[in-house]
Amino acid sequence: MDSLPPRFSILSPPDARDVAIVEGAELHHMRDVMRLHAGDEVALLDRDGREHLGVIDRYDRSQAFVRITASRSPLATRLILAAAIIKGPRMDLVVEKAAELGASELWPTVCAHGLVKSPGVERLARWRRLALAAAKQSLTPRPMEVRTPIAFADLIRSVPADTLAIICERGCEPLGEVIRRLAPRAILIATGPEGDFDPGERAAAHAAGFVAAGLGSNRLRSETAAIAALSIAANAIDLAAR
């Protein structure tokens, strides 16, 4: 039986008295769905990635008040997945699994060979809901931020400072070995669309300083490549931290 307390998200960090407020859909889930009462233990995740452990103090009509007993900061390594936008529920799967695997951010990327050029406001909102739900369920230390879609040409110009930028390509040095060899504090991994990156995108990425890394000898579907890349990267980061 899982002894960890149920987890909820909050819009603002605890106040100076170490009291946090839960409201909206999270309040409904806490009070009406899970039927938690005053005195029950909960975990709260704020927008900066800090997790707060506490006890429900009381409810009013529109809020729950939680007394915080301990807080912890998110993991230091920033892990960004720049995944090409793919069709339908396959992209939902990428979003959900990226959040579960501990990605800090998801940058949905529009690529030349991609079949989706503009996912729309409703689909982006759905991805953000999926990311939040996955973070709560999997107890990841930080909720994944889902950025607005970005063109590949803009992506390669937007890599944050001091970040190892990787583009996934078959036949290259294995991704895990690249990460262990370079030991970065922040990583951005670009994975391609249904038709993979085109030659111009690859050339532009290499010119911008992206390192090519492989995910094995098999040809992978787009969603499989994205999930595999994150799993490999998260494992390499975890091993380096020990």
On the question of pLDDT at 176 being above 60, the answer is: yes
- Tell me: do 133 and 43 sit in the same domain: no
Q: What is the pLDDT of residue 239?
A: 65
pTM score, two decimals? 0.73
Say if 17 falls within a structural domain.
yes
Question: Average model confidence (pLDDT) for the chain?
Answer: 90
Say if 193 falls within a structural domain.
yes
Segment 147-157, tens digit of pLDDT: 999 999 999 99
What is the rounded distance in angstroms from the CA atom of residue 185 to the CA atom of residue 169?
22
Segment 15-56, tens digit of pLDDT: 999 999 999 989 999 999 999 999 999 989 887 767 899 999
Give the residues across from 51 on adjacent strands: 45, 72
Q: What is the pLDDT of residue 140?
A: 73
On the question of pLDDT at 212 being above 50, the answer is: yes
Pairing assessment for the beta strands 41-45 and 51-59 based on DSSP bridges: antiparallel
Say if 1 falls within a structural domain.
no
Domain limits at 112? Answer: 78-241
The residue type at 99: A
- Tell me: do 134 and 212 sit in the same domain: yes
Among 41, 72, 103, the domain boundary falls at 72
- Tell me: do 102 and 154 sit in the same domain: yes
- Tell me: do 15 and 98 sit in the same domain: no
Residue 227 sits in a domain of what CATH number? 3.40.1280.10
Q: What is the pLDDT of residue 15?
A: 94
Segment 88-145, tens digit of pLDDT: 899 999 999 999 998 999 999 999 999 888 888 999 999 999 998 888 787 776 678 9
- Tell me: do 60 and 150 sit in the same domain: no
Number of domains in the chain: 2
What percent of the chain shows pLDDT beyond 70? 93
Say if 26 falls within a structural domain.
yes
Q: What is the pLDDT of residue 136?
A: 78
Among 55, 72, 89, the domain boundary falls at 72
- Tell me: do 115 and 180 sit in the same domain: yes
On the question of pLDDT at 165 being above 60, the answer is: yes
Query: Can you spell out the DSSP letters for 98-143?
Result: HHHTT-SEE--EE-TT-S-S---HHHHHHHHHHHHHHHHHHT-SSP
On the question of pLDDT at 1 being above 50, the answer is: no
